């Protein structure tokens, strides 16, 4: 019998793609002769099914389980409650469908690996006698902060800051830098109490898989193991497409774009090594007009070569409705020859891996953080929300690979200062660049027979042992 794992990502590209990368690695893991084979079923909604195409083509042991998307809510939710409403809608729609599928399957999964937003799957797996493993698309620092918040219900002090005394080095964060959904928590609110109960299910789950690696977050991985009271915490990252024979990896990993990947890479080919700043705020965040105006002016004044990924949707919830920043009129004409603007999805991994890119101006989402670190880019941090302020602190204060640029709409850099930092960030002798190259090497070592490969093998071994133990007791 095979080790059949059900993978259940939160249905957005930034959460689906790393879980698909994990599935791909599991299915291509070198297997001792006595070890069981691995098969994977991935829960996916119809609009995201295309993300599986390259993975389905490479393995017959990967199968999709297509479940419907929830209907949009009849009444709009405030941004800070949108996640809670979406998770509830997924639970109500998918739980009965998953239950019927599980009970009718001839060889049901022996483990459920689900996104840390889908905390209700802890009870689903427990009721069926299989282990539930949390998949964290955030790092172990961010996950440690989330565990502390929901378990201890930490509140701000007189300086409007929150201290995490149980974490390594006791970090402190301004109240406004903590996730919106947590700051909106009200004791006694039934929906928020259910959300907190589900969050505690993450801590109680059988195991945790983190998209990180030992050389990046060793102290926080050790803290997580102590926090949950067991060693079933596996760091298996960075989960990225293999470069393979010097290629830049897959280029179609998201949505539509105004510029083809081949055009982007051709444009980069004409640039000197380490001369380009790549600017992207992820798949969800959108700048407001003031942020966009200062960013565009700073890029123009800096004189540097750059690629700007400009999203034109407010889905991310970080800007007020109607305040979606548009690229200034005639901007592209004024920077022609040294600036490229991409509207829509950018082929981020190949861009960052290109020899011409030296600096990454980022919102510090964890996928972007890992992609930039793995490529050895200097990281200019401009966090917008979620756990991004935690990631920015890691990059700047602990790893020494980053430089602070902005903080959502509270601290918008002035164009002149931004221009100076952009130009300075491309220096070859910058201390942050030296550290970035070291972290890139550590990331590469982790997934080439190092700590992450060993953790991945150990994860499969533990799941298989659990499966065999269950069979013996039947």
Looking at 4, 15, 94, 354, which residue is catalytic? 15
Residues 214 and 330 occupy one common structural domain: no
Banded model confidence at residue 301, pLDDT cuts 50, 70, 90: very high
The average pLDDT across 316-337 equals: 74
Kindly report, residue by residue over 399-409, the tens digit of the pLDDT: 999 999 999 88
* 223 labelled catalytic: no
Q: Look at 30-34, 86-90, 427-431, 432-436 and tell me which has the smallest mean pLDDT.
A: 30-34
Banded model confidence at residue 306, pLDDT cuts 50, 70, 90: very high
Residue 354 lies in a domain: yes
Residues 131 and 109 occupy one common structural domain: yes
Residue 207 lies in a domain: yes
- The CA-based diameter of the chain, rounded to the nearest angstrom, is 72
Residues 211 and 234 occupy one common structural domain: yes
pLDDT at residue number 217: 97
Residues 194 and 108 occupy one common structural domain: yes
pLDDT at residue number 315: 44
Banded model confidence at residue 74, pLDDT cuts 50, 70, 90: low
Residue 279 lies in a domain: yes
Kindly report, residue by residue over 424-443, the tens digit of the pLDDT: 999 999 999 999 999 999 99
Residues 309 and 232 occupy one common structural domain: no
Residue 306 lies in a domain: yes
Listed in sequence order, the residues at least 6 apart from 22 whose beta carbon sits closer than 8 Å to its beta carbon are 7, 113, 135, 209, 211, 236, 239
pLDDT at residue number 322: 54
Banded model confidence at residue 318, pLDDT cuts 50, 70, 90: very low
Residues 67 and 167 occupy one common structural domain: yes
- Percent of the chain surpassing pLDDT 90: 75
pLDDT at residue number 317: 43
pLDDT at residue number 358: 98
Banded model confidence at residue 167, pLDDT cuts 50, 70, 90: very high
Asked if the peptide bond before residue 23 counts as cis, ω within 30 degrees of 0, the response is: no
Q: Look at 29-38, 366-375, 463-472 and tell me which has the smallest mean pLDDT.
A: 29-38
pLDDT at residue number 36: 76
Residue 245 lies in a domain: no
- CATH number of the domain enclosing 223: 3.40.50.2000
Residues 436 and 461 occupy one common structural domain: no
What is the domain extent for residue 354?
261-445
Banded model confidence at residue 474, pLDDT cuts 50, 70, 90: low
pLDDT at residue number 316: 42
Cα–Cα–Cα angle for 344, 8, 471, rounded to 5 degrees? 160
Token look-up 């966090």 returns 383
Please count the other Cβ atoms lying within 10 Å of the Cβ belonging to residue 433: 20
pLDDT at residue number 89: 93
Residues 163 and 290 occupy one common structural domain: no
The average pLDDT across 305-332 equals: 72
pLDDT at residue number 248: 39
* 50 labelled catalytic: no
Residue 246 lies in a domain: no
Residues 407 and 464 occupy one common structural domain: no
Q: How far apart are CA 89 and CA 109, in angstroms?
A: 24
Burial of 110 (0-12, 13-18, 19+ CB in 10 A): buried
The average pLDDT across 176-192 equals: 91
| C-beta separation of 276 from 307 below 8 A | yes
Task: Count Cβ neighbours within 10 Å for each residue of 113-145 and write b for 16 or more, e otherwise.
Answer: bbbbbbbbbbbbbbeeebbbbbbbbbbbbbbbb
Residues 230 and 265 occupy one common structural domain: no
Kindly report, residue by residue over 212-256, the tens digit of the pLDDT: 999 999 999 999 999 999 999 999 999 998 775 333 344 456 566
pLDDT at residue number 25: 93
Q: How far apart are CA 224 and CA 8, in angstroms?
A: 22
Residue 16 lies in a domain: yes
Residues 336 and 285 occupy one common structural domain: yes
Kindly report, residue by residue over 118-131, the tens digit of the pLDDT: 999 999 999 999 99
- Percent of the chain surpassing pLDDT 70: 92
The average pLDDT across 77-84 equals: 77
| C-beta separation of 115 from 15 below 8 A | yes
pLDDT at residue number 275: 97
Residues 235 and 289 occupy one common structural domain: no
Total domains in the chain come to 2
Q: Look at 18-22, 58-62, 122-126, 375-379 and tell me which has the smallest mean pLDDT.
A: 58-62
Looking at 115, 214, 453, 464, which residue is catalytic? 115
Task: Give me the sheet containing 276-280, strands edge to edge.
Answer: 339-343, 305-310, 276-280, 357-362, 378-381, 402-404
pLDDT at residue number 247: 37
Q: Look at 28-32, 83-87, 96-100, 381-385 and tell me which has the smallest mean pLDDT.
A: 28-32
Residue 252 lies in a domain: no
Kindly report, residue by residue over 350-398, the tens digit of the pLDDT: 999 999 999 999 999 999 999 999 999 999 999 998 899 999 999 999 9
Burial of 362 (0-12, 13-18, 19+ CB in 10 A): buried
Q: How far apart are CA 379 and CA 392, in angstroms?
A: 9
């Amino acid at each position: 019998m095979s080790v059949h794992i059900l993978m259940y990502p939160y249905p957005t590209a930034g959460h689906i793609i790393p879980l698909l990368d994990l599935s791909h690695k599991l299915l291509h893991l070198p297997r001792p002769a006595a070890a069981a084979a691995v098969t994977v079923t991935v829960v996916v909604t119809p609009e995201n099914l295309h993300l599986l195409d390259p993975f389905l083509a490479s393995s017959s042991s990967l199968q999709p389980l297509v479940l419907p998307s929830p209907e949009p809510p009849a009444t709009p939710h405030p941004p800070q409650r949108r996640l809670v409403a979406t998770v509830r809608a997924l639970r109500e729609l998918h739980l009965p469908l998953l239950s019927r599928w599980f009970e009718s399957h001839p060889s049901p999964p022996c483990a459920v690996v689900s996104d840390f937003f889908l905390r209700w799957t802890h009870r689903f797996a427990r009721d069926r006698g299989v282990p539930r493993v949390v998949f964290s698309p955030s790092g172990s620092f961010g996950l440690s902060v989330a565990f502390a918040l929901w378990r201890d219900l930490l509140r701000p002090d007189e300086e409007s800051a929150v201290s995490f005394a149980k974490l390594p080095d006791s970090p402190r964060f301004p109240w406004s830098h903590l996730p919106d959904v947590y700051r909106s928590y009200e004791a006694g609110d039934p929906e928020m109490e259910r959300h907190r109960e589900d969050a505690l299910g993450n801590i109680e789950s059988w195991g945790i898989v983190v998209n990180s690696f030992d050389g990046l977050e060793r102290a926080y991985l050790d803290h997580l193991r102590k926090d949950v009271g067991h060693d079933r915490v596996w760091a298996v990252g960075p989960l990225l497409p293999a470069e393979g024979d010097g290629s830049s990896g897959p280029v179609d990993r998201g949505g539509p774009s105004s510029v083809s990947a081949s055009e982007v890479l051709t444009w980069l080919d004409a640039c000197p090594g380490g001369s380009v700043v790549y600017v992207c705020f992820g798949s969800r965040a959108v700048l407001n007009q003031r942020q966009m105006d200062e960013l565009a002016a700073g890029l123009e004044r800096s004189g540097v070569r750059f690629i700007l990924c400009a999203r034109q949707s407010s889905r991310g919830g970080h800007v007020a409705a109607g305040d979606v920043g548009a690229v200034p009129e005639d901007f592209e004409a004024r920077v022609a020859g040294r600036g490229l603007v991409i509207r829509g999805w950018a082929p981020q991994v190949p861009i960052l891996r290109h020899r011409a890119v030296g600096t990454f101006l980022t919102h510090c989402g964890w996928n972007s953080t890992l992609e930039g670190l793995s490529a050895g880019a200097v990281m200019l941090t401009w966090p917008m929300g979620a756990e991004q302020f935690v990631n920015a602190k890691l990059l700047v204060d602990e790893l020494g690979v980053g430089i602070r640029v902005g903080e959502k709409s509270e601290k918008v850099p002035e164009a002149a200062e931004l221009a100076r930092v952009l130009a300075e960030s491309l220096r070859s002798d910058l201390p942050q660049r030296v550290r970035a190259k070291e972290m890139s090497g550590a990331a590469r070592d982790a997934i080439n027979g190092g700590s992450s490969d060993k953790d991945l093998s150990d994860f499969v071994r533990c799941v298989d042992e659990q499966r065999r133990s269950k069979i013996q007791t039947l």
